[in-house]
A and B are shown apart, each in its own frame.
Chain A
Amino acid sequence: MIDIAESFRTAVHLISSGDSEFWAIVFLSLQVSLSAVAIACLIGMPVGASLAVSRFRGRRAVIVAVNALMGLPPVVVGLAVYLMLSNSGPFGVLQLLYTPSAMIIAQLILVTPIIAALTRQTVETLNEEYADQLRSLGVSRLRSVPTLLWDGRFALATTVLAGFGRAIAEVGAVMIVGGNINHVTRVMTTTIALETSKGNLALALALGIVLILLAFVVNGAVAMLDTTSRQVAHV
């Protein structure tokens, strides 16, 4: 009990003292996850919105597949990316394994289906309201995609934050493709796993506190966006 209390005190000190090694881990985590989410938005949002407005044979099956991909097991994604990027894999020549880029790729694969599936849901609901009006104005289905993405921006912000939540909290995939190398690929989740196994509870606790704070910040941002959108009556 005393150990836990002491570890907690040391953790708080680590956070407040501005320890450069500690904050480097936090910043690398943010850099990797934000990059993955940004790229996932560029891919997932147009795909999700196009899926929402298009009508083609097999559309239902594609939607089911995208929804199913939301639950991809991170370690399996990590293994797949590892195989692709290893020296004997098809992309081995790029020498990306055990770099932040490999971690971004792994998180991208995990987050893109989430962004695409949630965007599809949001845009489909909005399209039910807009479809006749947009067609009446002579806007084609394809051209309605940017309109629907823009008008659904407040709801889609929640989607982005959900994707970020998944990315920042992920451990299995980044552990496999990043290797948890100190000062290179060590992020919050992998460090917590490693330091806990080593018995260095203070560092693990400090990073855990930052992760939880990030979760609060993300949820707070969602709540604020919701309030703001209602205030400006764009809902």
Chain B
Amino acid sequence: MFDRAPMFDDMAADGRPVTQSWELLEVEALGVDVSGMTLLDIPALQISSGGPTVIMGPNGAGKSLLLRLLHGLAVPTRGCIRMHEQPLSPRLCRRQAMLFQSPVILRRSVRSNIEYALAAHGVSRRARAGEATKLLDMAGLGGRARQSGRSLSGGEQQKLALLRALATRPEILLLDEPTSNLDPASILAIENLLLNAARAGTKLILVTHDLGQAKRLGDEVIFLHKGRVTEQTPIEIFAKSPNSAEGAAYLSGLLLV
């Protein structure tokens, strides 16, 4: 059985309960080269256990690649990633979850999608049903539990994928533009679930192009450009006056190439 992070009923009513933070993820001399091209080159980066971290940058900057590396879905050409000061391993990756831009819904019912994740994390058959019901009711999908997951709308599918990720009670939740194709109502629903998860102690690492979303959800911004981190700044500072020329150009709407 893996270490499970607190669930929603453990959370504070408002504000993040995190009173102290520590280095959760550390990146050292990380690089990815493909066909002689350097896609990512990060000499050093620390992500703390505190509030949500937002990764921003233009297309092709390496945001999604960094997220995949942090989750163990991609292998770096060089360098290393540590979680809790230990090299990233499949065992540590099981304490993370990832939400993809396009949700991958298993060809089974809404309830079974969540129960599958619980089973994969060693939750007993008896406990699975209760946890799935609790999560679905919380997200307003309780009435659709027996429906096929793939018959849900795009927003509902992303909500289901998020619930499935949260069902494993991850310590870190990595999100790759999770609301990029959704309408405002769906975005609001997803963001509320994310804020609840963050309050419950789950570390969010979110890739987004939406500064408004970054301000609503994030505590700090990591700005990437051409595979390099140009700044790691608190969101309030980044939104007003980015430290890097690339960040400033991005916010001012200049086309970064």
List the interface of chain A (C-beta within 8 A of B): 129-130, 132-133, 135-139, 147, 150-152, 232-235
Instruction: Knowing A136-B71, A138-B93 are in contact, say whether A234-B104 is a contact too (CB < 8 A).
Output: no
What residues of A have a CB within 8 angstroms of the CB of B106 in the complex? 130, 133, 147, 151
Q: Which listed residue, A132, A133, A138, A233, touches B148 by the CB 8 Å rule? A: A233
Complex CA gap A132/B90 in Å reads 13
| Contact A235 to B150, CB < 8 A, known contacts A132-B73, A136-B71 | yes
**In the bound complex, what is the Cα–Cα distance between A139 and B96 (angstroms)?**
13
Contact A151 B108 (CB under 8 A): yes
CB nearest to A152 among chain B residues: B107
B46 proximal to A (CB < 8 A):
no
CB–CB A138/B120 < 8 A? yes
Q: With A132-B100, A233-B148, A234-B148 as known contacts, state yes or no: A137 contacts B120, CB within 8 Å.
A: yes
Which partner residue on chain A sits nearest B103 by CB separation? A133
Total interface residues in chain B, CB < 8 Å:
24
Q: Mark B77-103, 1 if CB is under 8 A from A, else 0.
A: 000000000000010011011101000
Main secondary structure of the interface of B (DSSP, over half): mixed
A233 proximity list for chain B (CB < 8 A): 148, 150-151
In the bound complex, what is the Cα–Cα distance between A129 and B150 (angstroms)? Answer: 13
Query: Which of A132, A135, A137, A150 is the one whose CB lies under 8 Å from B168?
Result: A137
Q: Which residues in window 114-158 of B have CB below 8 A to A?
A: 116-117, 120-121, 148, 150-151
CB distance from A226 to the nearest CB of B (A): 14
Chain B residue at minimum C-beta to C-beta distance from A129: B104
Q: Point out the residues of chain B lying under 8 angstroms from A136, CB to CB.
A: 71, 73, 96-98, 165
Which B residues touch A137, using CB under 8 A? 97, 116-117, 120-121, 164, 168
Q: B72 — which chain A residues lie within 8 A by C-beta?
A: 135
Once the chains are docked, how many angstroms separate the CA of A147 from the CA of B117? 12
Residue of B nearest to A151 (CB): B107
Q: How far is the CA of A138 from the CA of B1 in the complex (A)?
A: 12
Q: How far is the CB of A3 from chain B (nearest CB, A)?
A: 54
Chain B residue numbers with a CB within 8 Å of A150 are 108
Closest chain B CB from A211 CB (angstroms): 34
Whether A139 contacts B120 in the complex (CB less than 8 A), given A233-B151, A234-B150, A235-B150, comes out as yes
In this complex, what residue of B is CB-closest to A154?
Answer: B107
Contact partners of A133 in chain B: CB under 8 A: 100, 104, 106
In the complex, A62→B145 CA distance in Å? Answer: 42
Q: List 15 A-B residue pairs with CB atoms under 8 Å apart, sorted by A's residue number.
A: A133-B106, A135-B72, A136-B97, A137-B121, A137-B168, A138-B93, A147-B116, A151-B107, A151-B108, A232-B148, A233-B148, A234-B107, A234-B150, A235-B107, A235-B150
Q: Taking CB as reference atom, which chain A residue is nearest B164? A: A137
Q: Which 8 A-B pairs have the closest CB atoms?
A: A233-B151, A133-B104, A151-B107, A138-B94, A234-B107, A233-B148, A136-B98, A137-B120
A138's partner among B100, B107, B121 (CB-CB below 8 A) is B121
- Please encode chain B, from 51 to 71, with 1 for each CB lying within 8 Å of some chain A CB and 0 for all others: 000000000000000000001
Contacts of A130 in B (CB 8 A): 104, 106
Within the complex, what minimum Cβ distance (angstroms) separates A124 from chain B? 16
Determine the residue in chain A with the shortest Cβ distance to B150.
Answer: A233
